[in-house]
Amino acid sequence: MQLKGIPLFRLAGIEVIIDYSWFIIFSLVVYTNFAAAREQFTVTQSWTMGLSVATLFFISVLLHELAHSFVALKHGIRVTGIRLFIFGGLAQASSEPESGRHEFLIALAGPALSLILGFGFGSFYGVMFLAGNSGPAAAVAGYLAAANILLGIFNMIPGFPLDGGRILRAILWDRWGDLTRATRVVSQIGNSFALFLIFLGILLFVFAQSLLSGLWLVFLGLFMKQSALGSYHAVVMRESLTGVQIRQLMKENIVFVDWLMPLADLVNDYIYKYQFTSFPVLNRSDLLGMVSLEQVKTVPKELWMFKQVRDIMTPIEQVPYLKPADDATDAFKRMVSEDLGSMPVIEGGKLVGVVSRRDLIDLFKIKSDLGIS
């Protein structure tokens, strides 16, 4: 997942980012609350209430994600960022929990915090109500109580990618000792629930003439359906790479490029021809570094005739590499988290092979075709 949007702040190494799509939902929450408040309150009061509800609800969603993140950090999982977008928030971790118990606690933290917030706002509303106060502050608290409790309950639905799905998977994983099977079950539940949301969205659209909430539900359903499938594939992939060493899948007939080659030749004779995204760079038989398509893209096309590979390559000391005995699962995780298309395999200071992400995915496909995953 890409972190596109506006960086808000950093907390304990976690980058909080607002996705552009988030502004849509924020404006909608402001407007719907303004419209609802307008029946009882003045225009100024209603706008203030709409803005307060949206801002406080947005802080509530952020706190929900921070709760997940802090429990994850406590269990040694690195959380890189939190992204707020049209469907809520997403905390992004660069590793997965190692045991069902950890996953259980991390997943539970978010909904638990939402419920606590919900009861907090609810108590405030209750006190105001008993004191005979039904002003704007009470109405805002009442709405936030309902929204947070709903958020907590919705997230407890036991299907991927919702928190409840993670909780159920942790329990099944613990009971069966089989992560793939547990993931398959919660992905199927998540998928069915997503289809139900899409169906509900269509009903709303057709019968209640509610264009916005109908469409929003349909898109939420589609998003959840895709994530449910995605998490299942990720686990099956990881499982099928377990126990495989890099030496078993690295390519040994390596295509090298010379350090003095002009970039124009690199593109025309190598990148187009072999369709690899990175190449090892040699000076005679010495490995000097790696050069990638991404690096070529940083140079304007007009200069490709004049710049050489050595001008843009990553020197060998800075190149992330693998060893033949490395585990394929770890290698894949590194490639995904560091966004590398391929990595050199080095043993005793010598380049012995290259592994690309495509090699790992191909192995996974062959294994699943043969039914050995």
Site for Zn ion in 227-286 (CB under 5 A): none
Q: For residues 154 and 205, which CB has a smaller minimum distance to Zn ion in the complex?
A: 154
Among 81, 110, 118, 159, binds Zn ion (CB under 5 A): 110
Q: In the complex, what is the shortest distance from the CB of residue 14 to Zn ion, in angstroms, rounded to a whole number?
A: 15
Q: Which two tokens stand for residue 302?
A: 């007009």
Q: For residues 161 and 344, which CB has a smaller minimum distance to Zn ion in the complex?
A: 161
Residues β-bridged to residue 345: 322, 353
Strand residue runs (E) in 128-192: none
| Whole-number Å distance between alpha carbons of 39 and 43 | 10
Q: For residues 110 and 142, which CB has a smaller minimum distance to Zn ion in the complex?
A: 110
Nearest to 178 by CA among 108, 236, 233: 236
Q: In the complex, what is the shortest distance from the CB of residue 273 to Zn ion, in angstroms, rounded to a whole number?
A: 47
Whether residue 123 contacts residue 131, with contact meaning beta carbons closer than 8 Å, is answered with no
- Binding range to Zn ion, per CB under 5 A, among 163-171, 225-233, 283-291, 326-334: 163-171
Residue 103 interacting with Zn ion (CB under 5 A)? no
CA pseudo-torsion sign 317, 335, 260, 308 = negative
Q: In the complex, what is the shortest distance from the CB of residue 362 to Zn ion, in angstroms, rounded to a whole number?
A: 34
Q: For residues 101 and 334, which CB has a smaller minimum distance to Zn ion in the complex?
A: 101
- Binding range to Zn ion, per CB under 5 A, among 16-24, 121-129, 159-167, 277-285: 159-167
By the 10 Å C-beta count (0-12 exposed, 13-18 middle, 19+ buried), 12 is classed as exposed
- Binding range to Zn ion, per CB under 5 A, among 42-50, 160-168, 210-218, 231-239: 160-168
Reduced to 3 states, what is the DSSP secondary structure of residue 352? strand
Residue 163 interacting with Zn ion (CB under 5 A)? yes
Site for Zn ion in 211-230 (CB under 5 A): none
| Whole-number Å distance between alpha carbons of 310 and 229 | 42
Residue 158 interacting with Zn ion (CB under 5 A)? no
In the chain the first and final C-alpha atoms are separated, in Å, by 25
Whether residue 22 contacts residue 85, with contact meaning beta carbons closer than 8 Å, is answered with yes
| Whole-number Å distance between alpha carbons of 240 and 286 | 35
- Binding range to Zn ion, per CB under 5 A, among 162-170, 208-216, 240-248, 319-327: 162-170
* C-beta nearest to Zn ion: residue: 110
Number of residues forming the site for Zn ion (CB under 5 A) = 2
Contact residues for Zn ion, defined by CB under 5 A: 110, 163
